[in-house]
Amino acid sequence: MNRYAGLQLLAPYLRPYRGKVVLASLSLIIAAGTVLAFGACLRALIDRGFAQGRGDILDYALASLIVVAAVLAVASGARFYLVSWLGERVVGDVRRDLFAHVVRLGPAWFEVKRSGDVMSRISSDAQLIEQVVGSSASVVLRNTLMCIGGVVMLVVTNPKLAALVLAVVPLVVAPIIVFGRRVRRLSREAQARMADMVSEGGETLDAVRTVQAFAQEERAARRFGEATERAFDAARQRIAQRAVMTTMVIFVVFAAVGFLLWMGGHDVLTGTISAGDLSAFVFYAVLVATSGGSISENIGDLQRAAGAAERLAELRAEPPVIVEPATPRALPKPLKGAVSFEDVSFRYPTRPEQLALDGLRLDVAPGETVAIVGPSGAGKTTVFNLLLRFYDPEAGTVRVDGVDIRDLAFADLRGALAIVPQEPVLFTASVADNIRYGRPEATDAEVRAAAETASALGFIEALPQGFATHLGARGVRLSGGQRQRIAIARAVLRNPAILMLDEATSALDAESELAVQQALDRLMTGRTTLVIAHRLATVQKADRIAVIDQGRVVDIGRHGDLVRRDGLYARLAELQFNLSAAAD
C-alpha cells in the first residue's frame, strides 16, 4: 500500500485552486533554479575573476549574484504566500466538509463514538494537513528539485566525483524507507492518543459541576494527566524514530561531502580540475546534502500527515446509518398530523440483545393529544427517536399522514415536528438566537411573541441585554426552569403540525408550571401532541393515555378508566401521582 495514500484525500480540495497550484509550482521551480545558478556564478568568480585577476569579471559575477538573489527572493516570497494560502484554504474546506458529514451521521453513530475524538480529527489531524499543504510538501518538492538539479550539475562538473555521490544515495534512501514506515505507524498512534486526551478533557469540562459536586477534581485531573502521559509517550516514540532517521541521513550525507572534498582537493593539487570547478562541485555537493537532509526531515512530516489524512478519510468514509430516499415523497398539504406506529420493533445498536420496542402499535389521530406513560426503560423515548427518524425500525412502519417516514426527506419530516426535551439543549448564543434556532428567518416580533407564549418574556427582559444576552455554554447562566421555557419558546416559534413533549414542565416550580402549562395548552390546540408524562396534570388533560411496558402498548384509554382497571397504569399512578388505585 502506498505510504502516502491517505494524502489522496486532498486531491479534490486542491482541484478548485489549480491556478494557484500552478503559480506556486512555477515559483518553486524558479526558486530552485536560481539556487542552482549560484554554482555557475561561483565558478566564474573563482576561475575567471580571482585566478585571472580580472576586475571586470568580478563586477559581472557580483551583478549576476545580485540578480539571482533578487529573483530567488521574489520567487521564494511568492511560493511562501501561495502555498500558505493553499494550506489554510484546503484545511478550511476539509474541516467544513467533514463536519457537515459528521452532523448527518445520526445518533446511532455517536453511541459508539466519542465527540472529543471526532473533533480531535477535525482540528488536530486537519492541522497536520495544513502543515503539509502550506509548508512541508513545497519544501520537499523544492529540495527534491534542487537535489536532482544538483546531481545533474555534479555530473556536468566532474563525472568521477559525481559517481561517488550517486553511490551514497542508497545509503541515504534506506533509513528514510525503513524508519519512515515506523514513523507513519507511530504518527497514527500518537494522533489517536491525542484524541483520547482531548475527549477525556472535554468530557470532564462538560460535566464540571458534577465533578465538583462529588469532589472528584483530583481524580479528574489524574485521569487527564494519565491521558496526557499516554499521548506524550506515543509522541516520544515517534520523535525518537524520526531523530534516528535524521541522524543517520545527515551523517551519511555530510560524511560523503567530506570525502568528496578530500578527493577533489587532491585533484586540484594534481591539476585534474580547477579551483573553480571544485568550488562549484562542493557548492552543489553541499546543496545536494542539505536538500537530502531537509527531505529526510520533512518526509517525517509527510508521513505524519499521511497518518492524519487516513484518520480523516476514515471519518469521511463513515456511511450514514440513516439515509434519505433518492426520490422523497411529499407530505400532504395541509398537513393533518396523523401518526401511526404499525407493529414496530427496534433494538438500539449498542444493545442488540434487547428489544426496545416489540411490535408496538399506536395510532394518533390529527389534533389528538396522547400521553405516553410507563416504567423506566419501557420504550417511551424510543417512540420519539423513531418518529424523528434518528433510527429506523428493524420491523414495522412509522407513518405521518399515511406516508412511511422512510420515504420522506429529513427536512420535510422534521420540519413537521417540534420537540421539547426533558433536558433542554441551549447553544452558546443569544436568547433570541436560541429561540430562533428552529426557524432562523423568524422576525424579532415573532421571537418575542413565542417567548411570551412560553411565559419566558419576564425573565428574558430582566437579563442584562434582554434578548441579546448571551447564555454561555449550554445556557449555564439560566436556571433549569428558565432553560426549559426557552426550549418551549423554540417549539412555539416553529409552529409544528406534531408536537412532542418529553416531560416539558418537569423543571418548573408550581407557579411557572401553571403558566407554561397554560401556554402549552394554547400551543397544543389544533395540533397532534405526543407527551411523555409523569405528572397528573399532564396526563389528565390528554385525550388518551398509552401505557407502554417492555416495548408494547399494554393499555390505552383515559385516566379514570385506566385507574379503575387496576392494571399497570393504576400502580404507576399510585407511585408517581400519589393517588390511591381507586382515584378517579
Q: Which tens digits make up the pLDDT trace of 353-402? A: 888 898 999 999 998 999 998 888 888 889 999 999 988 999 999 999 98
Are 158 and 277 in contact by the 8 Å Cβ rule? The answer is yes
On whether residue 518 sits in a domain, the answer given is no
Q: Domain count for the chain, please give it.
A: 3
Domain with residue 468: its CATH number is: 3.40.50.300
Considering only residues 268 and 531, tell me which one the structure prediction assigns the higher pLDDT: 531
Are 359 and 346 in the same domain?
Answer: yes
Are 261 and 346 in the same domain?
Answer: no
Closest Cα partner for 149 from 33, 38, 286? 33
Average pLDDT over residues 4-21: 76
Read off the pLDDT of residues 483-521 as tens digits, 9 standing for 90 and up: 888 888 888 888 888 998 887 666 566 666 676 677 677
Pairwise CA distance, residues 424 & 435, whole Å: 12
Are 64 and 122 in the same domain?
Answer: yes
> Which residue, 285, 317, 349, sits at the end of a domain?
317
Are 492 and 519 in contact by the 8 Å Cβ rule? The answer is yes
C-alpha distances in angstroms, 278 versus 42, 64, 169, 331?
Answer: 10, 20, 21, 83
> Which residue, 495, 520, 552, sits at the end of a domain?
495
Pairwise CA distance, residues 451 & 443, whole Å: 13
Read off the pLDDT of residues 114-152 as tens digits, 9 standing for 90 and up: 666 677 777 777 777 777 776 677 777 777 887 788 778
On whether residue 322 sits in a domain, the answer given is no
Give the range among 8-17, 53-62, 469-478, 535-544 with minimum mean pLDDT.
Answer: 53-62
Are 16 and 122 in the same domain?
Answer: yes
On whether residue 517 sits in a domain, the answer given is no
Question: Would you state the cell numbers that stand for residue 359, as one nine-digit string?
Answer: 411490535
Indicate the DSSP class of residue 430.
Answer: B
Closest Cα partner for 553 from 354, 351, 373? 373
> Which residue, 254, 283, 317, sits at the end of a domain?
317
The predicted pLDDT at position 323 comes to 85
Indicate the DSSP class of residue 331.
Answer: P
Are 446 and 578 in the same domain?
Answer: no
Q: Please state whether beta strands 403-404 and 395-400 pair in parallel, antiparallel, or not at all (unpaired).
A: antiparallel
- Residue 443 belongs to domain spanning: 420-495
C-alpha distances in angstroms, 427 versus 389, 452, 470, 483?
Answer: 23, 20, 9, 11
Are 138 and 171 in the same domain?
Answer: yes
Pairwise CA distance, residues 161 & 167, whole Å: 10
pLDDT over 80 at 96, yes or no: yes
| pTM for the full predicted model | 0.68
> Is residue 340 very low, low, confident or very high in pLDDT (cuts 50, 70, 90)?
very high
The predicted pLDDT at position 399 comes to 93
Pairwise CA distance, residues 555 & 566, whole Å: 11
Pairwise CA distance, residues 131 & 66, whole Å: 32
Contacts of 207 (CB under 8 A, 6+ apart): none
Radius of gyration of the chain (CA): 35
On whether residue 325 sits in a domain, the answer given is no
CA atoms within 13 A on the CB side of 144: 10
Are 537 and 462 in the same domain?
Answer: no
Considering only residues 255 and 442, tell me which one the structure prediction assigns the higher pLDDT: 442
On whether residue 511 sits in a domain, the answer given is no
Are 46 and 88 in the same domain?
Answer: yes
On whether residue 95 sits in a domain, the answer given is yes
Q: What is the DSSP string of 296-328?
A: HHHHHHHHHHHHHHHHHHHHHHPPPSS---SSP
Give the range among 7-21, 27-41, 103-117 with minimum mean pLDDT.
Answer: 103-117
Read off the pLDDT of residues 432-449 as tens digits, 9 standing for 90 and up: 988 888 788 888 998 898
Are 155 and 64 in the same domain?
Answer: yes
Pairwise CA distance, residues 350 & 27, whole Å: 54
On whether residue 312 sits in a domain, the answer given is yes
Closest Cα partner for 379 from 555, 576, 554, 548? 548
Are 374 and 264 in the same domain?
Answer: no
Domain with residue 166: its CATH number is: 1.20.1560.10
Indicate the DSSP class of residue 344.
Answer: E
Are 468 and 539 in the same domain?
Answer: no
On whether residue 469 sits in a domain, the answer given is yes
Are 406 and 434 in the same domain?
Answer: no
SS3 226: helix
